[in-house]
Amino acid sequence: MRISEKETVTLKKTSDEQIVFRTCPLCEAGCGLAVTVVDDEVTHIRGDMQDVFSKGFICPKGSTLKQLHYDADRLRHPLIKRNGVHVQATWDEAWAAVDAGLNGVITKHGRESVGAYLGNPGAHGLSSMTFNSVFLKSLGSRQIYSASSVDQVPKQVASGYLFGSPSTVAVPDLDRTQYLLILGANPYDSNGSLCTAPDFPGRLEALQARAGKIVVVDPRKSKTAQHADEWIAIRPGTDALFLAAIANTLAADGLEVMDQRLGSFLNGVDEVVLALQPFTPEFVAETTGVDAQTIRRIAHELRGASSSAVYARIGTTTTAFGTTASWLVDVVNIFTGNLDRVGGAMFPLPVAGSANTRGAGGSGKGFRTGRGHSRVSKHPEVLGEYPASAMAEEISTPGDGQIRAMVIVGGNPILSTPNGERLAKSFADLEFMVSVDIYLNETSRFADVILPVPSALQRSHYDLALLTFAVRNVANYSKPVLSRSANEPDEWEVLAKMSSIVSGLGVETSPSTIDDRVISKLVESATKDSSSSIFGRDCEEIISELSVAGRRGPDRILDFLLRTGPFGDGFGSVRDGLTLDKLIAAPHGIDFGALEPRLPNILRTQSGKIELAVPQLIGDLKRLEVFCQEKIDATQLTLVGRRDLRSHNSWLHNIEVLVKGKDRCTLHIHPNDATRLGITQGSAVRITSRVGNVDAPVEITELIREGVVSLPHGWGHSMPGTKTKVASSRAGVNSNILTDEQRLDPLSGTSVLNGIPVSVAVV
């Protein structure tokens, strides 16, 4: 069936059957889905063949939005803990309990005594992307934590220093590059991260079909490495050294190509070249486990290709040198002359705008960290947060500013952040805790109140965050597929109510009041910005135009962002510009084309140049040099994580169709290590790190470097007090019991999840 872009979001197929098109919010790929609905019941989900970006591609998780919605364990009503047991409550009872609990702690101990943790799903939701920050601002505490500090913060810090904004991340121009060097990423299983590209595997295969080359650097021969033209089995945690040696080689050979293309945009080239001098391929070879000849060859291939890009992800960011490795990715892209170039590493132009489309282009305030330090270990603030690994000590260490209450929004940090056992003990000691969550899980079981939000199919959607990392400039809006009952407040309404409670406006204040304040502030700020398309316009006129369609909450904010964005209609000032109405009329999305060069306009550094030689990063090279000279213990096993196509962190493990089949929570070990340790296929082993131990079954495989073992994260569903029947029956073990909260990348506060020293022994 062919469906025109001009038709409305729903299409009548029979008298009672509709196909509704929407974007999958589960991972960063953002695939288009065609959802068949009969009488407000979802019967089938498949890929939307006409989606402008994904063209019909989905992975096995996409169709499970249906199972997620109908999951009997998904919470539909608030829960309140009474006498240690969670019981169903009305929303009025729940709000009264939240009001008493949070404001009781604030009154007794002050605002800094309330902490908040935001989970990964928040980055994938329109409501959370627009109202989480409203809640945090109302809370007024600096005790803010999130899943970002066990994930991508190093890339954002490096990008912030280089380009002036942490949201200015260069992505590989996947569809046009001829040479792709991938480090620590496995898009065949993850579908990509910080690089939004539905059907990432198909795009890689197209690269190879046009005679391009893919090289994967990873301690595991992941699915992506198996499909690549070359696999380099690096030692975990040494990517920064490998990249430093590549950059050193490029500099030694001469940087004429870079000078021609990018010279006028760069500050600090000479300082970087000087600081990289110790990092010859020979110097790093033993520590990285990659011979000098291979490093030189890869450097020459990157420079010699008609276009090339380096792309690195979680295997490089969640290491002790995560920020430096992320910075060196762009140093290499710059040294080869491939930054901001077709086929190289390019900057998306987000349709709904971002920090690099707003304000005067070409220079700005720049980027910094350290606006405050954590109370106990003095970690610097990064992106308005402290490291997730510091949460437990901030709760359990007495003194002024000790956290006495927590608000967890869409997160399960006991399974996803370091030293989960210590964190669980600290949560048990809190005076009050509230979780905004769809499950009674390993973390929310400690909550005094659990506030459920509707399922993804009941919410509207636009990928505000992830489309800022897309390999094409696209926009795609989804209306809710299924209705909500009167007793199911939307996610933004829950967050707005939380906001009014902690700001002192009281439990009676309606979410609409908060919403009106939010839109007024946004409009007022844009009308005062001389670079905005609505500079000098009347606020009331803009707000009434936004409200004509009766829109509220995130949809009204989205309309505002689209209309004032780079492709927007500027509220009448740009002919044929984009509005939300126009986007709704295009149910398969709108493609605004391939990425185009954006320098120098994209820069927000104070100098108006790319700041290559930021002192923090140059300084960290000294630490890297010392690390490279440390003696290697050949008998030491090192633990890394791994992704599985059917899993996504911890929260999809209650979907039977995704977890059935063979056990996926196994320890991968190389045959030589297994033989040395007397381990046989399938036997149970105990894995021990400095902070804990877990038992897991073994899979002996040659698809891993000798000396490295691998365990996936997000498992460990055997804890008491949860209500996730399927997940509990296939519990697995929590790999974060092994993660050491004291090991961090000091520049970003990001935990070391890859490269944990462990011992392994037969149980």
Given the rule CB under 6 A, which residues bind ligand SF4? 24, 26-27, 29-31, 58-59, 61-62, 191, 198
Residue closer to ligand SF4 by CB (options 197, 610) is 197
Residue closer to ligand SF4 by CB (options 441, 476) is 476
* Helix-strand-coil split of the chain, %, nearest 5: 35, 20, 45
Could you tell me if residue 334 is left (phi over 0), alpha (psi between -120 and 50 degrees) or otherwise beta?
alpha
- Smallest gap from residue 398 Cβ to ligand SF4 (A): 43
- Smallest gap from residue 666 Cβ to ligand SF4 (A): 23
Are the C-beta atoms of 724 and 440 separated by less than 8 Å? yes
Q: Quote the DSSP letter at residue 152.
A: T
- Smallest gap from residue 222 Cβ to ligand SF4 (A): 16
Q: CA 233, CA 498: separation in Å to the nearest integer?
A: 48
Burial of 612 by CB count in 10 Å (0-12 exposed, 13-18 middle, 19+ buried)?
buried
- Smallest gap from residue 200 Cβ to ligand SF4 (A): 8
- Smallest gap from residue 644 Cβ to ligand SF4 (A): 12
- Smallest gap from residue 62 Cβ to ligand SF4 (A): 3
Residue closer to ligand SF4 by CB (options 32, 577) is 32
Residue 112 CA to chain centroid, in angstroms?
Answer: 26
The DSSP code sequence of 348-416 is ---TT--TTTSSSTT--S-----SSB-TTT-PBPBTTB--GGGHHHHHHS-STT---EEEEES--HHHH
Residue among 78, 113, 127 at smallest CA distance from 98? 78
| Torsions phi, psi for 716 (to 5 deg) | 110, 50
Q: CA 401, CA 109: separation in Å to the nearest integer?
A: 8
- Smallest gap from residue 681 Cβ to ligand SF4 (A): 31
- Smallest gap from residue 723 Cβ to ligand SF4 (A): 24
Residue closer to ligand SF4 by CB (options 61, 203) is 61
The H or E element spanning position 559 is helix 553-564
Buried b / exposed e over 154-169, threshold 16 CB at 10 Å, is: bbbbbbbbbbbbbbbb
Residue closer to ligand SF4 by CB (options 29, 471) is 29
Residue closer to ligand SF4 by CB (options 122, 707) is 122
Residue closer to ligand SF4 by CB (options 191, 666) is 191
Q: CA 753, CA 448: separation in Å to the nearest integer?
A: 30
The H or E element spanning position 136 is helix 126-139
Residue closer to ligand SF4 by CB (options 62, 337) is 62
- Smallest gap from residue 54 Cβ to ligand SF4 (A): 7
Residue closer to ligand SF4 by CB (options 31, 232) is 31
| Helices 322-335 and 239-253, axial angle in degrees (round to 10) | 20
- Smallest gap from residue 33 Cβ to ligand SF4 (A): 7
Residues in the chain: 763
Residue nearest to ligand SF4 (CB): 62
Pairing of strands 179-183, 309-312: parallel
Residue closer to ligand SF4 by CB (options 55, 686) is 55
| Helices 239-253 and 292-304, axial angle in degrees (round to 10) | 60
User: Residue 752's CB: how many other CB atoms inside 10 A?
Assistant: 23
